[in-house]
Structure 1
Amino acid sequence: MSDSFPGCVSSAAAALPVLDLRELEVPERRAAFLAELGHAAREIGFFYLIGHGVAAEKFVRIEEVSRRFFALPDEEKHAIGMANSPHFRGYTATGHELTRNRPDRREQIDIGVELPALELGPDAPVWKRLQGPNQWPAGLPELREVALDWSATLRQVAIRLLRAFAQALEQPADALDGLIDKTPAQLLKLIRYPGSSDPALRQGVGAHKDAGILTLLHQDHHGGLQVERPEGWIDVPPIEGAFVINIGEILELATNGYLRATMHRVVTPPEGVVRYSIGYFLSPSLEGSVPLLPLPEHLAKLALGPESDPKNPLFREIGPNAIKGRLRSHRDVAERHYPEQYAALDRLD
């Protein structure tokens, strides 16, 4: 795969499936919905979700508060810079998050579960430092209420989907609940992509797989998201009121590679255009490890094992997997708060 962002296959020629979550509750449509979900997850890894029940006014509120956040003066945003936080919470300026060791052209704020930092001794696992409070801008106090409400709402949608995934894999609905039944873990990203006409600045976000369980993405009316398919990179244009859903590497591990997390990226919008998006990432509780589902034989024989990148190996232990990804993406936080781990990062690249 080239890093030069070649031309894409038309989205009209390779559209993603559109699934309606309401069909899960309709007895005569339930089996068909689960079959469509299983096909979309295995063959593509991405789909649109409608019928999710998230009220239109919640979309309006999160969009409005996101734009107001990015319109704050730079000094107010930098006052809650992620480098202040050993928990990887807060604002990241354009070019300060890395994907595959290259800077992404976007600014964002990362918001997790609002929890106190743990009191840890010197021998505690380093990943336990991921739990902690968020940083909130003094000039926009309503961001906290709106962002936490959005996260709570989408968490319920994501859990419904996770249980549907289990059933699509011919497992009990609660087969994957062990991933989420301890201390909650999740991430909300409010993101702004500034436009550019410079070919060297086309990486809004570099090609990657998501590390968590499920991602629910809300896009504004500007495109930019692309998914890798055998025929090339395809556009994923926004559909009003729909989430773009993709599975993360945790489900790839849990199914021994029967499900595959899919490579995707975001291309910088053209000069004069600003793109906003809001990503919600359902993550596993940091404690414990990823289970291996006992898939029925006809599914298990299609599971080829999870893909492994020697420079970014997957761990079944959730905490070490989570801290690894954050350290690699946010070198400024690693250098300031994790000096021992920071010194070892170059050996992974």
Structure 2
Amino acid sequence: MPVPTISLHDFDNRRQEIIDELMDASTNVGFFTLANHGISPEDVQTAFELSKQFFALPDEVKSKTPLNGKNAGWEKNTQVRPSTGTADQKESIQLQFARMEGLWPADEDIPDFRVKAERFMRQIRDLSVKVMECFAEGLGLPLNTFTEGTVDPGVGDSQDVLRLLHYHSTEGKTFGSNFWRAGAHADFDVLTMLFQRDGEGGLEVCPGRKVVGDFGMGQNWLPVEARQDRIVCNIGDQLMRWSDDRLKSTYHRVRLPEGQESRGPRYSIAFFNQARTDSIIQGPQKKYPPITGGEFIAEAMAKNRMQSAEIAKKAALEDADKVASAIHFVPRHLQAAA
């Protein structure tokens, strides 16, 4: 089954049709793309230009706002996926509505960065409200189940994240067989909304995951076309749990360029809707025990750190350039299948 495209054109009059399409996509694939979504092409282009401005800065300038352990700040080549044992070939800056003290790039480096970024974040959040209300209605839950659980009413407990991503050029470089721009993973949020640039592809998805938290992946990877006029959306682990596994959080990855594809850089922008710190995540059938949004994120990040610690210890004993392009450490949970 291909990744479906869902048009939001004439939303109010087509609401039930759109809900049916969203539910079908989210229960069978876990991914879909949105067309006619209402965010203007000019605003999307402005966001990409802001991203390119930031990543063009010298590393010593970007490092003034380092990743802070609370899912905000800049990182480069530090994300090791437990599914692969290799470092993603990218850098990113993660921005939030809260917990951003000292983490906004300075106006002296990029004028009005915060103003422009927050404006775009609000646009995506407002669009996501429509989609999350459709999910609630499709599941037979109160309309505000996921919006009240994610959108900060002004108390500063939002955990939503906007992530600007820059995948490095691969021109003139060679890599081992298990290297990726982003290794296979499932998101641990409620709903991810991803913007891509035309022709900068590589995103692939693998439907078939059954329950939250497993490493089950099939062998059939579906490509997702890179189009700047569409938003790629996927269910995260929080919503899979919140829906008692009805809506599927699907593994996905970004492969390195192949064949005649461009070896140049790739830029994307992801918005992660996440449950507020004190929101309770529990589905109507109570398949899983209740957990707060804050606890969920803390557990997910701790699990990832523990799984990556073994890999990091091994990497420290090897030449850095070799680790970045030639060595693949097999994580313990995958060794039996290797």
> Common fold, TM-score beyond 0.5?
yes
Aligned-partner SS, 1:203: coil
2:163 to 171, 189, 205: 189
CA shift in 2, pair 1:49/1:133, >3 Å:
farther
Distance 2:203 2:148 in 1: 31
TM-score (ref. length: structure 2): 0.77
Which residue of structure 2 lines up, in the alignment, with residue 322 of structure 1?
A: 297
Is the contact between residue 92 and residue 107 of structure 1 (CA under 8 Å) also seen in structure 2? yes
C-alpha change, 1:235 and 1:264, in structure 2 (3 Å) is same
Partner of 1:91: 74
- Select 2:112's aligned residue among 124, 142, 147: 142
Alignment map for 1:92-241 (pairs within 5 Å): 92-94=75-77, 96-100=78-82, 101-115=85-99, 134-137=103-106, 138-180=108-150, 182=152, 183-196=157-170, 197-200=174-177, 202-221=179-198, 222-229=200-207, 232-241=220-229
Per-residue Cα deviation, 1:167-193 (whole angstroms, up to 9, x for no partner): 122333223334125532200111011
Q: Which deviates further from its counterpart, 281-290 or 37-46?
A: 281-290
Paired position in structure 2 for 1:22 = 9
Among residues 234, 240, 259, which one is paired with 2:247 in the alignment? Answer: 259
Counterpart residue number, 2:26:
41
Equivalent residue number for residue 4 of structure 1: none
Identity fraction in percent: 25
| SS across alignment from 2:280 | coil
Offset, 1:64 = 0.6
2:213 corresponding residue in structure 1? none
Partner Cα separation in structure 2 for residue 246 and residue 50 of structure 1: 14
1:72 and 1:330 mapped to 2: Cα distance?
A: 28
- 2:145 match: secondary structure: coil
Does structure 2 conserve the Cα–Cα contact (< 8 Å) formed by 1:191 and 1:278? yes
Which residue type is aligned with residue 157 of structure 1? L
SS in 2 for 1:191: strand
What is the CA distance between 1:268 and its match in structure 2?
A: 2.5
Q: TM-score, normalised by structure 1?
A: 0.74
**TM superposition shift of 1:202:** 2.7
**Per residue, is there more helix in 1 or in 2?**
1
Indicate the SS of the match to 1:199.
coil
Unaligned segments of structure 1, at least 5 residues: 1-13, 117-131, 296-304, 307-313, 335-345
Aligned length: 287
Q: Does structure 2 retain, via aligned residues, the 8 Å contact 1:194–1:268?
A: no
The letter of the residue matching 1:243 is I
Structure 2: distance between partners of 1:318 and 1:175: 13
| CA contact 2:87–2:179 (8 Å) conserved in 1 | no
> Does the CA-based 8 Å contact 1:289-1:316 persist in structure 2?
yes
Shift of 1:198: 1.7
Quick one: distance in 2 between partners of 1:289 and 1:136? Answer: 33
Is this contact kept in 2: 1:47–1:244, CA < 8 A? yes
Residues 198 and 347 of structure 1: is their aligned pair in 2 closer, same or farther, counting only changes over 3 Å? closer
Which amino acid in the other structure matches residue 160 of structure 1? K
Q: CA deviation at 1:234?
A: 1.3
Residue type at the aligned position of 1:97 = Q
Which range is displaced more, 39-48 or 282-291? Answer: 282-291
Unaligned runs of 5+ in 2: 208-217, 310-330
SS in structure 1 opposite 2:162?
Answer: strand
